[in-house]
């Protein structure tokens, strides 16, 4: 019939459509040939590499190889920058005059205190000093009562000190930029911190040595005291001997007849005391150093206007060091009695 003929024709049309659809998406994609990349082929064949590779990807996976000559030239430029900066910008304390510039870094050496290695962070827009290495040189001499006092710091302590000291080298935030009258002086701040740390270590050496001596047969004749702030050490010696002598003297006087007319009131025997402390202010008069420096006198000026940039060998206006060890001994008489003496001892 006519209706059946139309259904058969529609079925054939649908079969043809399905066959064409399968041929289009199932057969043709596997039989087509892509156009060759002539440009890339020419680059690879002629130069041996792909010239149009994005630079940001290339630098991430394959950084540029720096030659030895480029390294030497870069270090030479950094050395020149450091020397010019030390001559024209930086203000350093007299104790840090001994420095050496080499291999893109500067090494400051303070005898019997510390050695620090810095380098300029030229990668930043505002160039500042970056600390590379730090060595604390404070140590005690060997004694006859046992092993040497060990003040060595482990790696974590050194890293903590370096991290804290780096804060003095970093430039202040933009909101706290110093004015011309209060210029940012990183090397002075670094020296203040490390010098104070070394003074604390030197005083600790004396305390440990005296305390170990107290543990020997000197236990009755030596008293060692440290104040809570750990800035003053007080050593009283011959205390037991003098107590015995005073008791014997009192007993001897009690046995004598009491003659009021000829009696002599003798003062009690005091302990011999040595006090060593960390002073935080520079005295107004000239400083008297130890015998090792032949009692040399140094005049210190308090005029802050003399502190200028680039003054390497002239520390007269810096009023440094601002902290130092001083000592006094109760056994001195005359003008030296109860007077503090600046220490410059070798530990």
- How confident is the model at residue 257, as a pLDDT? 53
> How far apart, in Å, are the Cα atoms of 332 and each of 169, 221, 238, 252, 278?
44, 20, 16, 28, 21
Question: Mean pLDDT, the chain, as a whole number?
Answer: 74
* Residue 180 burial by Cβ neighbours in a 10 Å radius (0-12, 13-18, 19+): exposed
User: What mean pLDDT is predicted for residues 295-314?
Assistant: 37
Helices then strands, counting H and E runs in the chain, come out as 8, 11
- How confident is the model at residue 51, as a pLDDT? 82
Q: Report which secondary-structure segment, H or E, holds 55.
A: helix 55-61
Assess whether 274 and 195 both reside in one domain.
Answer: yes
Assess whether 29 and 175 both reside in one domain.
Answer: no
The pLDDT of residue 161 is above 90:
yes
* Domain assignment present for 163: yes
**pLDDT > 90 fraction of the chain, expressed in percent and rounded:** 19
Task: Give 255's pLDDT tier (boundaries 50, 70, 90).
Answer: low
Among 60-64, 169-173, 177-181, 228-232, name the one with the lowest average pLDDT. 177-181
Which tokens in the block code for residue 135?
């060595």
**Which has more pLDDT, 306 or 12?**
12
* Domain assignment present for 347: no
Assess whether 25 and 174 both reside in one domain.
Answer: no
In angstroms, how far is CA 292 from the centroid of its own chain?
28
Assess whether 53 and 85 both reside in one domain.
Answer: no
E strands within the chain? 99-102, 105-110, 114-120, 129-136, 222-226, 232-237, 272-279, 287-288, 297-298, 324-329, 341-342
Assess whether 17 and 164 both reside in one domain.
Answer: no
* Domain assignment present for 161: yes
User: What mean pLDDT is predicted for residues 20-29?
Assistant: 84
Among 27-36, 84-93, 114-123, name the one with the lowest average pLDDT. 27-36
> How far apart, in Å, are the Cα atoms of 104 and each of 64, 246, 273, 283, 327?
21, 67, 51, 39, 42
Assess whether 29 and 166 both reside in one domain.
Answer: no
The pLDDT of residue 134 is above 80:
yes
User: What mean pLDDT is predicted for residues 244-267?
Assistant: 50
Side-chain half-sphere exposure of 96, counting CA atoms within 13 A: 27
* Domain assignment present for 15: yes
* Domain assignment present for 70: no
Residue among 165, 219, 195 nearest 279 (CA): 195
Task: Give 332's pLDDT tier (boundaries 50, 70, 90).
Answer: low
Assess whether 154 and 224 both reside in one domain.
Answer: yes
Assess whether 161 and 217 both reside in one domain.
Answer: yes
Question: What's the predicted TM-score (pTM) here?
Answer: 0.63
What's the farthest any 2 CA atoms get from each other in the chain?
Answer: 168
Q: How many CB atoms lie within 10 A of CB 233?
A: 21
* Domain assignment present for 64: no
Residue among 288, 315, 343 nearest 96 (CA): 315
Could you report the per-residue pLDDT of 267-299, keeping only the tens digit for each?
A: 444 457 788 888 776 544 333 333 333 333 333
Asked if 235 and 224 touch (Cβ cutoff 8 Å), the reply is: yes
Which tokens in the block code for residue 156?
């974590």
Measure the CA–CA gap between 278 and 224, rounded to whole angstroms.
Answer: 17
Assess whether 314 and 246 both reside in one domain.
Answer: yes
Assess whether 142 and 248 both reside in one domain.
Answer: yes
* Domain assignment present for 62: no
Assess whether 49 and 144 both reside in one domain.
Answer: no
* Domain assignment present for 47: yes
Task: Give 104's pLDDT tier (boundaries 50, 70, 90).
Answer: very high
Which residues span the domain enclosing 187?
Answer: 75-257+267-342
- How confident is the model at residue 103, as a pLDDT? 92
Q: Looking at the 3D structure of the chain, how many domains does it have?
A: 2
Assess whether 22 and 148 both reside in one domain.
Answer: no
């Amino acid at each position: 019939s006519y209706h059946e003929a139309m259904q058969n024709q529609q079925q054939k049309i649908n079969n043809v459509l399905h066959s064409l659809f399968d041929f289009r998406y199932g057969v043709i994609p596997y039989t087509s040939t892509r156009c060759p990349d002539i440009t890339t082929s020419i680059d690879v064949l002629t130069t041996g590499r792909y010239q149009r590779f994005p630079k940001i990807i290339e630098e991430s996976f394959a950084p540029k190889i720096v030659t030895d000559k480029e390294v030497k030239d870069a270090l030479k430029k950094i050395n020149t920058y450091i020397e010019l900066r030390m001559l024209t910008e930086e203000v350093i304390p007299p104790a840090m005059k001994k420095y050496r510039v080499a291999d893109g870094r500067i090494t400051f050496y303070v005898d019997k205190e510390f050695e620090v290695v810095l380098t300029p962070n030229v990668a930043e827009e505002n160039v500042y000093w970056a600390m590379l290495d730090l060595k604390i040189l404070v140590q005690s001499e060997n004694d006859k009562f046992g092993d040497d006092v060990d003040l060595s710091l482990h790696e974590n302590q050194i890293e903590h000190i370096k991290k804290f000291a780096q804060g003095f080298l970093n430039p202040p935030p933009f909101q706290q930029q110093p004015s011309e009258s209060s210029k940012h002086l990183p090397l002075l701040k670094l020296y203040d911190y490390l010098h104070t740390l070394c003074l604390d270590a030197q005083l600790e050496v004396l305390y440990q040595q005296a305390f170990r001596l107290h543990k020997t047969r000197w236990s009755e004749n030596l008293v060692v005291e440290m104040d809570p702030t750990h800035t003053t050490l007080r050593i009283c010696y011959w205390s037991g001997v003098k107590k015995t002598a005073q008791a014997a003297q009192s007993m001897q006087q009690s046995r004598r007849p009491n003659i009021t007319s000829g009696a002599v009131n003798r003062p009690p025997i005091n302990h011999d005391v040595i006090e060593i402390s960390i002073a935080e202010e520079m005295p107004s008069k000239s400083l008297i150093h130890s015998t090792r420096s032949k009692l040399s006198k140094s005049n210190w000026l308090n005029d802050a206007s003399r502190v200028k940039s680039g003054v390497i060998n002239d520390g007269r206006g810096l009023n440094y060091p601002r902290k130092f060890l001083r000592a006094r001994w109760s056994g001195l008489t005359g003008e030296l009695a109860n007077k503090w003496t600046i220490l410059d001892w070798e530990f």
